[in-house]
């Protein structure tokens, strides 16, 4: 007999779907089937069942080969590395639960570390813009129930957040949106005709790196001022038309992604998109929301927000929290050689950072805590595999609209494996001993 | 004026935060007392004397004090930060935050400076003989007040985000700038003798930007009004006058809407 577990929360992307169903074996040890999830989410669950999965920490030998070590030895090595460093970088924190992030924050505070999460190469520019000009946002539930116009700017949910459009933004029928997608106008702004653009009523093929100009043009249009004939590759007639549609929507939302946060202008793109939203609220109701990537990157920002006052790039080296992306951001720290050790948990910088940064990681003492073998573990001196959060251990995660959702455990982790939180607690206890606090 | 000379004798392994290198903290101190000032490398606190040899004596007040800093200062941050009077002469390239939050006095840098130079500057003079990095005279993260006053002169080029949220004072750049000049500007004057790339004056409320060279891509919210003759930093020329950013809010004065002014050499 197998068991069906319902209302499972998916620990893959920031959409944090909470309607998954998982079939597990009678003894609760094996995960057999995943229903309702997108292809990526299902794979995340099934991947935990890999037979060749690492279940014990491993330390690199002089000759580059690995030897198995105990979790205690791993915690000892990690604590010594962090406590002896002048400026350790503690990066990642986005594919884990808030409980682990809290323990990690305590460790960072004791060792005077640099805390940074994946927002640094993702929606960090959004966080900078929000700090500069504020943000009028809402929950995904409001969009499902109220929105009659959605704009996807520089994001491609059809591939990156596969169930976003069906659960919240484009297709669902809600309380005031009984017609589903037939009652919604969708606009996609992207230099490339993506699969999301295929679903759009209006597609604006903006010139690469000119989003700032196009957003500015919308603001000019809202104020009925004159525009040049063409802005960012879009004719002024089209811009006036879209601006008019936006003003006449009942409830709209701008969703945006890496296409604007990490192209020319970065935070300024978001800054002006927020001001577009603010302008629109003089005519009707509009919101704006980042398409957050990792399922709990929002949570990392929330936890550090309440602990330190800053959502990413937190510099604790002087005993109080400072923050300045450009200085205390992981890639700047690595490339400028401002740090002397690297601790990674819940992310894979080896795969996503520029090669010049990864080379510096390779040269420094480096500990990676990750259930998988990844490009980051390749440059690590110590690799600590842990239980999958959201699959083998529950915990709190924040959805992209900053709504906290409690995820559940569905199967047991392999015998003797620790969770992120348990391992960090070992490290914290040992750091306390070394520091004498 | 009394002069203190600092010479770097030991490079830090990481980077050194030396916000104490200001006439304000040196004034009235002996060389030994200056050597005992704290500097920071990561989570460690060292003494200034561990990294610099110190000679000469400062004046009794900051105003009477000149500090000369010598050696390769590429790993030194925060020189002259928050100073209110006196003079700092830097004889090499420096790293970030040179003259950040400066309120008065003078800084001369015979080299390049890193990012965040003169961040949130309130007054005084800074002259950089080389080039400056990004966020020159811009606001600290989250602050809506960038440079508020003083004169900031760069002989070479500047990076991106010059004068973000600027509200007063003057920035003169001898060379070219990267993208984003005067974003959110609400006062003050930025002069670019060379070329600016794009995003010039985006979200600008008030103030002036004067470009002698070219702008690759204009912001859509700037409208050409007329051509006028101006004398800028000793040079006379005819400029095309634009007003904007038309998409941004603008204050009214005596019933007239005040726009940001963008001048491009005709």
pLDDT score at A29:
86
Checking DSSP bridges between strand B196-198 and strand B215-217, what pairing results, if any?
parallel
For chain B, which residues score pLDDT lower than 50?
A: none
The 3-class SS string of B158-171 reads ECCCECCCCCCCEE
pLDDT tens, position by position, A124-170: 999 999 999 999 999 999 999 999 999 999 999 999 999 999 999 99
pLDDT tens, position by position, A370-420: 999 999 999 999 999 999 999 999 999 999 999 999 998 999 999 999 999
Check CB contact under 8 Å for A220 and B221: yes
Element at A277 (helix H, strand E): helix A267-280
- Please list every residue in chain B whose beta carbon sits closer than 8 Å to the beta carbon of residue A268: 180, 183, 199, 202
Please give the mean pLDDT across all residues of chain A: 96
pLDDT tens, position by position, A26-58: 988 899 999 999 999 999 999 999 988 999 999
Give me the long-range contacts of B211-216 (CB less than 8 A, separation at least 24): B211/B181, B211/B262, B211/B263, B211/B264, B211/B265, B212/B237, B212/B265, B213/B176, B213/B265, B214/B264, B215/B264
With beta carbons less than 8 A apart as the criterion, state whether A197 and A169 touch.
no
With beta carbons less than 8 A apart as the criterion, state whether A211 and A189 touch.
yes
> Does residue A213 belong to the interface with chain B, where contact is any CB pair within 8 Å?
yes
Q: How far apart are CA A198 and CA A203, in angstroms?
A: 8
Q: And the tokens for A413?
A: 């982790």
Q: How far apart are CA A238 and CA A143, in angstroms?
A: 25
Largest Cα–Cα distance of chain A, in whole Å?
A: 70
Interface test with A, best of B220, B221, B222, B257 (most A CBs within 10 A): B220
- Please list every residue in chain A whose beta carbon sits closer than 8 Å to the beta carbon of residue B142: 131-132
> Does residue A220 belong to the interface with chain B, where contact is any CB pair within 8 Å?
yes
CA distance B72 to chain A (A): 16
Q: And the tokens for A406?
A: 């409690």
Q: How far apart are CA A9 and CA A252, in angstroms?
A: 27
Check CB contact under 8 Å for B141 and A131: yes
> Does residue B219 belong to the interface with chain A, where contact is any CB pair within 8 Å?
yes
Checking DSSP bridges between strand A66-68 and strand A58-60, what pairing results, if any?
antiparallel
Tokens 């309130």 label which residue?
B122
ipTM of the complex: 0.95
Q: How far apart are CA B184 and CA A271, in angstroms?
A: 10
pLDDT score at B232:
95
With beta carbons less than 8 A apart as the criterion, state whether A6 and A23 touch.
no
- Please list every residue in chain A whose beta carbon sits closer than 8 Å to the beta carbon of residue B203: 216, 271-272, 275
> Does residue B188 belong to the interface with chain A, where contact is any CB pair within 8 Å?
no
Q: Which residue of B has its CA nearest to A324?
A: B141
Tokens 């060749």 label which residue?
A52
Facing residue for A268 by CB, picked from B41, B43, B183: B183
Q: What angle do CA A270, A271, A274 make, to 5 degrees?
A: 80
Check CB contact under 8 Å for A336 and B15: yes
Q: And the tokens for A250?
A: 């009942």
Facing residue for A86 by CB, picked from B41, B144, B248: B41
Facing residue for A338 by CB, picked from B14, B134, B245: B14
Band (A333; pLDDT cuts 50, 70, 90): very high
> Does residue A417 belong to the interface with chain B, where contact is any CB pair within 8 Å?
no
CA nearest neighbour of A103 among A75, A127, A122: A75
pLDDT score at B1:
84
End-to-end CA distance of chain A: 52
pLDDT tens, position by position, A281-321: 999 999 999 999 999 999 999 999 999 999 999 999 999 99
* A338 conformational bin, left if phi > 0, alpha if psi -120 to 50, beta if neither: alpha
Q: How far apart are CA B97 and CA B78, in angstroms?
A: 5
Q: How far apart are CA A312 and CA A305, in angstroms?
A: 8
- Please list every residue in chain B whose beta carbon sits closer than 8 Å to the beta carbon of residue A333: none
- Please list every residue in chain A whose beta carbon sits closer than 8 Å to the beta carbon of residue B44: 86
> Does residue B249 belong to the interface with chain A, where contact is any CB pair within 8 Å?
no
User: Which residues, other chains included, contact A207 with Cβ-Cβ below 8 Å and sequence gap of 6+?
Assistant: A191, A232, A233
> Does residue A268 belong to the interface with chain B, where contact is any CB pair within 8 Å?
yes
pLDDT score at A1:
84
**In chain A, what percentage of residues exceed pLDDT 90?**
97
Q: What angle do CA A411, A414, A418 make, to 5 degrees?
A: 100
A221 phi and psi, to 5 degrees? -65, -40
With beta carbons less than 8 A apart as the criterion, state whether A361 and A342 touch.
yes
CA B16 to the chain's CA centroid: 20
> Does residue B42 belong to the interface with chain A, where contact is any CB pair within 8 Å?
yes
> Does residue A219 belong to the interface with chain B, where contact is any CB pair within 8 Å?
yes
Q: And the tokens for A196?
A: 């999301």
CB atoms within 10 A of CB A159: 12
């Amino acid at each position: 007999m197998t068991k069906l577990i319902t209302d499972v929360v998916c620990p893959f992307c920031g959409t944090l779907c909470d309607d998954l169903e998982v079939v597990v074996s009678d003894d609760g040890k094996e995960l057999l089937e995943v229903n309702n999830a997108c292809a990526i989410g299902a794979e995340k669950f099934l991947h935990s069942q890999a037979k060749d999965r690492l279940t014990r920490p491993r330390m690199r030998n002089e000759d580059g080969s690995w030897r198995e070590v105990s979790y205690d030895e791993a915690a000892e090595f990690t604590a010594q590395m962090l406590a002896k460093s002048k400026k350790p970088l503690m990066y990642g924190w986005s594919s884990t639960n808030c409980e682990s992030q809290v323990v990690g924050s305590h460790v960072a505070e004791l060792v005077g570390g640099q805390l940074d999460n994946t927002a640094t190469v993702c929606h960090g520019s959004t966080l900078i813009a929000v700090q500069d000009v504020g943000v009028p946002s809402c929950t995904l539930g409001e969009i499902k129930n109220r929105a009659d116009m959605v704009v996807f700017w520089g994001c491609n949910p059809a591939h990156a957040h596969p169930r976003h459009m069906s659960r919240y933004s484009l297709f669902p029928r809600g309380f005031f949106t009984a017609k589903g997608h037939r009652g919604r106008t969708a606009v996609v702004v992207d230099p490339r005709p993506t699969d999301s653009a295929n679903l759009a009523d209006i597609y604006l093929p903006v010139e690469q790196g000119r989003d700032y100009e196009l957003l500015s043009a919308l603001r000019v249009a809202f104020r009925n001022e004159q525009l040049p004939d063409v802005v960012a590759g879009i004719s002024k007639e089209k811009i006036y038309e879209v601006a008019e549609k936006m003003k006449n929507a009942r409830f709209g939302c701008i969703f945006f992604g890496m296409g604007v946060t990490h192209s020319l202008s970065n935070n300024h793109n978001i800054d002006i998109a927020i001001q577009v939203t603010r302008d629109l609220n003089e005519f009707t109701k509009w919101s704006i929301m980042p398409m957050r990537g990792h399922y709990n990157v929002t949570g990392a920002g929330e936890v550090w927000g309440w602990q330190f006052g800053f959502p990413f790039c937190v510099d604790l080296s002087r005993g109080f929290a400072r923050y300045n992306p450009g200085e205390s951001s992981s890639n700047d720290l690595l490339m400028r050689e401002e740090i002397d050790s690297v601790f990674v948990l819940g992310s894979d910088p080896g795969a996503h950072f520029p090669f010049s940064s990864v080379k510096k990681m390779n040269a420094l003492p480096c500990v990676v805590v990750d259930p998988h073998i990844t490009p980051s573990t390749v440059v690590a001196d110590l690799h600590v595999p842990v239980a999958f959060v959201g699959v083998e251990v529950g915990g709190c995660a924040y959805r992209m609209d900053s709504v906290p959702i409690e995820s559940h455990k569905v199967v047991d982790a392999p015998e003797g494996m620790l969770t992120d939180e348990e391992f960090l607690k070992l490290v914290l206890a040992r750091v306390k001993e070394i520091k004498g606090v | 004026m009394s002069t203190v000379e600092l010479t770097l004798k030991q490079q830090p392994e990481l980077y050194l935060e030396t916000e104490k290198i200001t006439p304000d903290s040196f004034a009235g101190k002996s060389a030994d007392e200056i050597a005992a000032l704290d500097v920071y490398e990561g989570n460690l606190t060292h003494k200034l004397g561990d990294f610099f040899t110190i000679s000469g004596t400062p004046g009794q007040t900051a105003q009477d004090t000149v500090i000369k800093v010598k050696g390769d200062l590429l790993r030194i941050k925060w020189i002259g930060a928050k100073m209110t009077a006196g003079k700092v002469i830097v004889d090499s390239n420096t790293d970030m935050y040179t003259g950040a939050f400066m309120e008065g006095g003078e800084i001369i840098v015979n080299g390049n400076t890193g990012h965040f130079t003169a961040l949130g500057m309130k007054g005084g003079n800074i002259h950089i003989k080389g080039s400056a990095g990004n966020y020159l005279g811009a606001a600290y993260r989250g602050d809506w007040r960038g440079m508020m006053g003083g004169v900031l002169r760069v002989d070479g080029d500047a990076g991106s985000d010059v004068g973000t949220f600027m509200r007063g004072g003057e920035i003169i750049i001898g060379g070219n700038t990267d993208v984003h000049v005067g974003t959110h500007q609400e006062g003050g004057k930025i002069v670019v003798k060379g070329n600016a790339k794009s995003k010039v004056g985006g979200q600008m409320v008030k103030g002036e930007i004067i470009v002698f060279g070219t702008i690759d891509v204009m912001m859509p919210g700037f409208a050409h009004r007329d051509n006028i003759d101006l004398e800028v930093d000793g040079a006379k020329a005819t400029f095309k006058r634009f007003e904007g950013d038309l998409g941004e809010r603008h204050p009214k004065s005596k019933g007239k809407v005040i726009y940001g002014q963008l001048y491009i050499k005709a």
